[in-house]
Amino acid sequence: MSERLPAHGSQHPDEYREDLHPEAGRDDNVPPAEAGARPYRTAHEAKDVHARLSHLNDEDLKRIPLVQPGTRLQQGATYLDLASDDPGEFTATAELQAGESHRLVAKDQVDHELWNILAGHSDRPPRP
């Protein structure tokens, strides 16, 4: 016999449910979609990133997709902000969103070798 799970927030009394779950039904791991918009642009297209990544060639820059401004970050995912003076890795929480001045790269969108170069874990230059 199959049991159905209760609806999100239904364990709380009706009068408190909206206060405790104001955005019930919103999926924090799905970025908002805009009709016809590309989900990413690349570091190659972001000219302000070129100076910071001068050790990478154009082909490498084209392989680095950037998160579009306004996109909600995936909870638990790892990112780098290439616009930061210290682009250390960080893990996103559900309420984080890419801003206009950010140049965010999601770890799961680039290959391992390139991620290590971006994150400063490798002294080895990228392949020509």
H or E element, residue 37: none
**Residue 39 reports pLDDT greater than 90:** no
What the block records as the tokens of 53 is: 């990544």
Whole-prediction pTM value? 0.65
Pairing of strands 65-67, 104-106: unpaired
Task: In whole angstroms, give the CA distance from residue 89 to residue 120.
Answer: 10
Please report the pLDDT score of residue 127 as a whole number. Answer: 52
What mean pLDDT is predicted for residues 13-39? 58
Is residue 34 within 8 A of residue 72, CB to CB? The reply is no
DSSP 97: B
Please report the pLDDT score of residue 10 as a whole number. Answer: 65
Q: Which of 11-20, 77-86, 112-121 shows the lowest mean pLDDT across its residues?
A: 11-20
User: Of 16-25, 86-95, 100-109, where does the model show the most confidence?
Assistant: 100-109
Q: Give residues with Cβ within 8 angstroms of 29, minimum separation 6.
A: 74, 75, 94
Q: Which of 15-19, 36-40, 92-96 shows the lowest mean pLDDT across its residues?
A: 36-40
